[in-house]
Amino acid sequence: MVKITINSEKCKECGFCITACPIKNIRLSSNLNKKGYHYAEIIDVSKCTGCGLCYQMCPDLCIEIEK
């Protein structure tokens, strides 16, 4: 099983990871981080394929994937 972690405090709400996810499994949270941004979150961790596209697109290195 793939383990994906998004650092919500580093996320700046750019949305690149949302656009990159081929299964549309990432969304912006309704909550805000300390900087006032709606951070990205995984909708269903068990559906993540670990393709790494979200990781590659994140300009702030907020996403970690462990296989």
Q: What is the pLDDT of residues 4-26, one digit of tens each?
A: 999 999 999 999 999 999 999 99
Q: 57: domain CATH number?
A: 3.30.70.20
pTM beyond 0.85, yes or no: yes
Residue 50's domain comprises 3-66
Q: Into how many domains does the chain fold?
A: 1
**What is the pLDDT, as a whole number, of residue 54?**
98
Per-residue model confidence as pLDDT tens digits over 19-62: 999 999 999 999 999 999 999 999 999 999 999 999 999 999 99
Q: What angle do CA 47, 49, 51 make, to 5 degrees?
A: 145
Instruction: State the pLDDT at residue 1.
Output: 80
